[in-house]
Amino acid sequence: MHMEYELNKIIKIPVGLGERSYHIITGQGILGNAIEYLVPFVSGRKCLLLTDSNVGPIYAKKVSEMLREAGAEAFIFTFPAGEEHKTLETVGGICSYAVKCGLDRSSLIVALGGGVCGDIAGFAAAIYMRGINFIQIPTTLLAAVDSSVGGKTGADLPEGKNLIGAFWQPKLVLMDPEVLTTLPFKEIRCGLAEVVKYGVIMDAPLFAKLEQNTDKLNGVDLHFYTEIIAECCKLKAQVVAADEREGGLRAILNYGHTFGHAVELASNFTIAHGEGVSIGMSMAAELAVQAGFLDRAVAVRQRKLLEKLALPCKLAPGGDPEKIYAGMLKDKKKVGSRLNLVMPLEIGKVEVKSGFEPAAIINAVRCCCE
């Protein structure tokens, strides 16, 4: 798993799901040389390139031209950037535009953007004409290592995140680490929360590598990022292949997310997803320490790495633990009134635990407030 990758090497990572199998293809500069990978899926077909108002002005023209060179008839749909636009209304607008462009069941949607774009593009693809193909071209670190892989798609409701959606696997994921150079560092930092998560839940050597290379992470060393993206994608591919629909093992990928989604919701999404996950992992580790599952020194080790990457570990003043807990109860992964929470046992090992008293959860949240 842990190897040095040749500079500019194209890395192909299989996601083994039988007839739904596909490849993640990553490497520096791949967006300038991806036609051969696109041709089998897009040649002779209509493609709707979905992007947002941040990414579109930078990459939409380049990618639409690449699709046309691969033999597609390409159309572009741009929606306003931001989690607040990850709604049924946006999905409906995408589907209506697809009808206007004449997309049929042989057509496909191409997601060009971050996690929000990938989620709603996949959801639109899953429901348009009862399902058409789609391709993921993630442009954020968070989307590259997490949301673009595994087929979880969806949209938000006012009551909570991702409460509607479908499992719908892409046909291909293309990730060019060079897109990171056009991102604000805050966006990269949000992706690093998910990278740290992989180390905590299943890969202690990866966690140690991150600790030893925070300068390369903060300095956006593209060679190192290419390596890290590939390693995270391999880890997620293993989990998805073993448990596509989150019946068991895949639940470990939710480490920090039940807390984190509630933090995002309580902030009215002024706290970004990666920041919420970082705070959520800190809350989960605090609860694990208080419940006797985790040594305090390990929680401190996690906190120090997150802080070195300029990620938050506490809620700002005014955070309301009861409101966070109420938000957690809206989590779609709970069973009845029981919250299933991913608890770290050591670096590289977690377990899903339940049966926590509300007071214990609220106290852990309170300990992570300024």
Does residue 102 surpass a pLDDT of 90?
Answer: yes
Q: Which two tokens stand for residue 220?
A: 């956006």
**pLDDT single digits (tens) 164-178:** 999 999 999 999 999
Does residue 47 surpass a pLDDT of 90?
Answer: yes
For the chain, what are the domain ranges? 11-182, 185-366
φ, ψ for residue 120, nearest 5 deg? -80, -30
CATH of 11-182, one of 3.40.50.1970, 3.20.20.70, 3.30.70.1230, 3.40.50.2300: 3.40.50.1970
Catalytic residues: 130, 152, 194, 236, 246, 250, 254, 257, 261, 273
Strand runs labelled E in the chain: 11-15, 22-26, 46-52, 73-79, 108-113, 133-138, 152-157, 160-167, 172-175, 341-346, 349-353
φ, ψ for residue 152, nearest 5 deg? -85, 115
Q: 185-366 in CATH: which number?
A: 1.20.1090.10
What is the spatial distance between Cα 198 and Cα 354, in angstroms, rounded to a whole number? 21
pLDDT (0 to 100) of residue 121: 98
Contact 350, 201 (CB under 8 A): yes
**pLDDT single digits (tens) 73-95:** 999 999 999 989 999 999 999 99
Give 330 or 220, the one with higher predicted confidence: 220
Buried b (16+ CB within 10 A) or exposed e, 149-160: bbbbbbbbeeeb
pLDDT (0 to 100) of residue 33: 84
**pLDDT single digits (tens) 229-282:** 999 999 999 999 998 988 888 999 999 999 999 999 899 889 999 999 999 999
Q: Is 6 left (phi over 0), alpha (psi -120 to 50) or beta?
A: beta
pLDDT (0 to 100) of residue 305: 98
pLDDT (0 to 100) of residue 128: 98
Q: What is the pLDDT of the chain when averaged over all its residues? A: 93
Largest distance between two CA atoms of the chain: 59
Radius of gyration of the chain from its Cα atoms, rounded to whole angstroms: 20
pLDDT band at 1 (very low <50, low <70, confident <90, very high): very low
Whole-model pTM: value is 0.90
Q: Which two tokens stand for residue 246?
A: 């989150």
CA–CA distances in Å: residue 73 to residues 47, 95, 128: 6, 17, 18
